[in-house]
Amino acid sequence: MNLYDSLLKYSNMGYYPMHMPGHKRNPDLLGMVNPYSIDITEIDGFDNLHHAKGILLKGMERAAQLYGSVHTNYLVGGSTAGILAGISACTKKGDKILVARNSHKSVYHAIYLKELVPVYIYPRPERQFGINGGISPEIIKELLIKHPDIKLVVITSPTYEGILTDVKAIASAAHEHGVPLMADEAHGAHLGFHPGFPKGSVSLGADIVIHSIHKTLPAFTQSALIHINGSLVDYEEIKRYLAIYQSTSPSYLLMSGVEQCVTLLEQRKEELFSVYGKRLELFYEKMKQLRNLRILDGETVKASGFYGFDPSKITISVKNTEMTGNDLYYCLLKKYKIQMEMVSKDYVLGMTSIGDTEEGFKRLGDALLLVDKQYRACDNKDNSSPEAAIGSTEPPERVMLSNQVYDEPRENILLSESAGRVTAEYVYLYPPGIPLLVPGERISKSLITGIKGYQKSGLSLQGLQDMTGRYIKVVAKA
Ligand SMILES: Cc1ncc(COP(=O)(O)O)c(C=O)c1O
């Protein structure tokens, strides 16, 4: 069956989407005519994204107003395009930037393209769930003093699992040194619209904020926004790079979808977010009945010393049970027809949005309570393979910059025999696409053990050209 037929068939099979896109295939929020009837190119009267001065500019100005930003641009290449443009616009070739190590791979690709020297800051791991926590403003302050030549700070908040960093404190630390802050808020386009949700990074002082509106709001996949604030970022440079990284034929379907989403929020954000907030509250309340499975919530996050939590992400830990993450993920999929967003060794993640229905929350909640009863608690589970949190193993040693690796002769060797060698490939778990190893870093024994643990748990390890995951490309002489 081809892709189109498979999509049609799937859409009628009754699976509930606890994953992105945030429209959740819910036609009640945003209907649409036959997409072909409105799919055009830059014809008269329809403006040009790369030189916007008409209908598109007006739409982007409304988006800026909604988020309280000075400038906002549509992105049709996802947050990826905005991240590439944001980092490129703030740096010259060879500059130094301060980067949270739990950054998305697009951040690493920008570093590669501009030949930047990254100074990494590692998030503190959240040990109970084995996920990445937030970034410490204190360490950012120290690193900015230690490296006065840093040109940009890049952090991710919220994380995939919904952990927030103190963006305001980091913005003011960066600004004291005249350095702009880019907040990758790809997972937080829905923040700030209702008191039940944390504030968004535009209002917290970040100079560049990136939003994948397709992830957590009702919008088509690939649609995203970049917001620019303050005087430390040159907006003209941002636009120049957006024209480099994005298609010269941006989709009018995607752009009108963004505009529809903005209109929906302008008109109904209070109502939609208060219904959604209530549903989440009830869901978390109901989940207090769980005996073996555990749900990440604001209290756990605060008790672990992290800054804040976005309740839209539902992270379910199986650590205390006889199950693996995969067991729970496939049980929800096969038995209850609930498609979750991602699975890791010890947890499963669901993404929710204003597009979710009451029935959807009930279905997930009921399924989890049933599964919880069937699987016994277990206190001697083998936890010997490392967590998904990147800070839980020793940071790899950087031997060369990623852009230097590809000019060197490379060879393919067995991953199991690669300890001590310098990787010429990324190694990351997808999702969320955060590198365990960046080209140019030395492979350690503990990392090989970790990677084997992920492979054994059936997690999706990517980056290696060898699809079997047995071989890794390394720098020949290093
Ligand atoms: C933290 C983070 N930033 C950026 C991106 C890239 O977003 P997009 O898929 O919209 O390009 C992702 C995608 O998963 C992400 O998780």
Minimal CA–CA distance to 206: which of 58, 63, 70?
A: 70
Q: Is 156 close to ligand 1, i.e. is its CB under 6 Å away?
A: yes
CA-to-CA distance for 291 and 289, rounded, in angstroms?
6
Q: Report how far Cα 81 is from the mean position of its chain's Cα atoms.
A: 14
At residue 385, the pLDDT reads: 44
| Dihedral-angle region of residue 444 (phi above 0 means left; psi in -120 to 50 means alpha; beta otherwise) | beta
- Judged by DSSP in three states, 311 sits in coil
Q: Is 188 close to ligand 1, i.e. is its CB under 6 Å away?
A: no
CA triplet 447, 187, 105: central angle to 5 degrees? 40
How far away, in angstroms, is 215 Cα from ligand 1 center? 8
CA-to-CA distance for 385 and 392, rounded, in angstroms?
11
Asked whether 119 and 135 are in contact (CB, 8 A), the reply is: no
Helix (H) or strand (E) holding 17, with range, is: strand 16-18
- Residue ranges of domains in the chain, CATH in brackets: 35-262 (3.40.640.10), 270-374 (3.90.1150.150), 393-475 (3.90.100.10)
Q: Is 103 close to ligand 1, i.e. is its CB under 6 Å away?
A: no
At residue 433, the pLDDT reads: 62
CA-to-CA distance for 215 and 433, rounded, in angstroms?
15
Asked whether 225 and 189 are in contact (CB, 8 A), the reply is: yes
Mean pLDDT in order along the chain per 10 residues (478 residues): 95 96 91 91 96 97 98 98 98 98 94 97 88 93 98 97 97 98 98 96 98 98 97 98 97 97 97 97 97 95 94 95 93 98 92 97 98 79 51 79 94 95 90 80 92 79 87 91
Ligand 1 atom at minimum distance from 82 CA: 11
At residue 18, the pLDDT reads: 97
How far away, in angstroms, is 80 Cα from ligand 1 center? 6
- The overall pTM is greater than 0.85: yes
At residue 145, the pLDDT reads: 98
How far away, in angstroms, is 361 Cα from ligand 1 center? 24
CA-to-CA distance for 97 and 259, rounded, in angstroms?
33
Asked whether 23 and 355 are in contact (CB, 8 A), the reply is: yes
Ligand 1 atom at minimum distance from 83 CA: 4
Ligand 1 atom at minimum distance from 75 CA: 10
How far away, in angstroms, is 227 Cα from ligand 1 center? 15
| CB atoms inside a 10 Å sphere around CB 48 | 14
How far away, in angstroms, is 86 Cα from ligand 1 center? 14
Ligand 1 atom at minimum distance from 431 CA: 14
How far away, in angstroms, is 224 Cα from ligand 1 center? 10
At residue 382, the pLDDT reads: 56
- CA gyration radius, the chain: 22
Using H for helix, E for strand and C for coil, what is the string for 196-230?
Answer: CCCCCCCCCCCCEEEECHHHHCCCCCCCEEEEECC
At residue 199, the pLDDT reads: 97
169 DSSP 8-state letter: H
Q: What is the token pair recorded at 120? A: 């990494």
pLDDT tens digits along 257-299 = 999 999 999 999 999 999 999 999 999 999 999 999 999 999 9
- Sorted by sequence, the CB contacts under 8 Å of residue 333 that are 6+ apart come out as 15, 339, 340
Task: Tell me the residue ranges of DSSP E strands in 307-459.
Answer: 308-309, 313-317, 338-340, 342-343, 347-351, 410-414, 427-429, 434-437
